[in-house]
Amino acid sequence: MKNINLILLDDEPAYGKRLAEYLSGHRDSPFLVHLFLEHPGALDKAGSGDIYAVSSSLCALYADRLDMQKTLVLNEKSDQLPEPALCLYKYQSAENIYQELIRFCLEKGQKKPHISTGGKNFTTDAVYLPLANEENCLALSSLIKRKTDSRKILYLDLKQVPLPDPYPADPPDEKESFSDVIYYLKQYSDSTVSRVSSLICPGRPDYIRPPELISEIYELTQAEWEDFFETVRDDTGYEILLLDFGSAVPPTSVLTLCSRILILSRDNAWEQKLIASFRAILEKVGGQALTGKIKKLRI
């Protein structure tokens, strides 16, 4: 559902058209984009927008007519820019600009983006791999990629020793990770929505980079995990949040909140012993409330 009127003011026809098409055509985009390439006078035709994206070369022309609290400036060079506009480098990836617009709407208190999950139920799955070797991890990767053809999945690698990224994409230049999500959950809960959205890397499936230290995830309380789960459910449009713990036992606070605990194995004798040990741990810390969530899948 497109519920935000975005007025895009630009003076480069090819650039403006490509950016407008990307912002409007992005999966679950909340933006109804109105592109204006002829100046001055564009605002006379545009009417009132919820937010504005304006090339820096046009700022002087429209400065006295724009509400800078609702304006994102696409900076072409080191121009003198009006305050308090948010400024972005114009010639970066359209995906980065899209994510900054989403963040802008949330942080500036503008109309909240409506992000649809297609009317489907949201599930949070914890994954346990008795043997988190390369062969099994790649089999899991293949399984997830097949699932992305029909479901919107956000993947989070929380293994003790993450393998090289199996989901190559163009990540944010800052190389931010789940460590940043943890920081914002603990320090700035009101900004968590925008941080999560900006840290998602596109791929099959989309993903957030692993934390710098896996021990950080054990610092989160159950309430903070719940805040994260609710953010993904309500504000990103994903249908499945997949938490891959590899062969480690996930925090009880996470398992309590998860919809399912997926055990993926090849059913050999050694893996069966590891699974029995894992089940015994769950029985001890949570009883039937946890063991009842177990679903075994063969890979």
| Alpha carbons 75 and 85: distance in angstroms, whole number | 11
Do 67 and 160 fall within a single domain?
Answer: no
Kindly calculate the radius of gyration of the chain based on its CA atoms and give it in whole angstroms: 22
Same-domain pairing of 93 and 162: no
- Note whether 269 and 294 are same-domain residues: yes
Tell me whether residue 268 is in a domain: yes
- Return the closest-CA partner of residue 37 out of 29, 45, 26, 47: 45
* Exposure of 238 in the CB half-sphere (CA atoms within 13 A): 28
Query: Domain check: are 69 and 203 in the same one?
Result: no
pLDDT of residue 295: 92
Q: Which two tokens stand for residue 180?
A: 């940043």
Provide the domain count of the chain. Answer: 2
Are residues 195 and 80 part of one domain?
A: no
Q: Domain with 47 in it: what CATH number? A: 3.40.50.10850
Q: What is the pTM of this model?
A: 0.60
The tens place of each residue's pLDDT in the chain, 299 residues long, gives: 567 888 899 989 999 999 998 888 876 688 888 888 877 666 666 667 888 899 988 888 887 787 878 888 898 875 555 555 578 888 888 877 888 888 787 766 555 555 554 445 789 999 999 988 888 888 888 888 888 878 889 999 998 766 555 444 444 445 678 988 888 887 765 556 556 777 888 888 888 888 888 889 988 888 889 888 988 887 778 889 999 999 999 999 899 999 999 999 988 999 999 999 999 999 998 888 899 999 998 88
Q: Which amino acid is at 73?
A: V
| Angstrom distance (rounded) from CA 41 to CA 62 | 9
Domain of 133, CATH number, reads 3.40.50.300
Write out the residue range of the structural domain in which residue 217 sits: 123-298
Q: Does residue 117 fall inside a structural domain? A: no
In Å, how far from its chain's centre is CA 18? 23
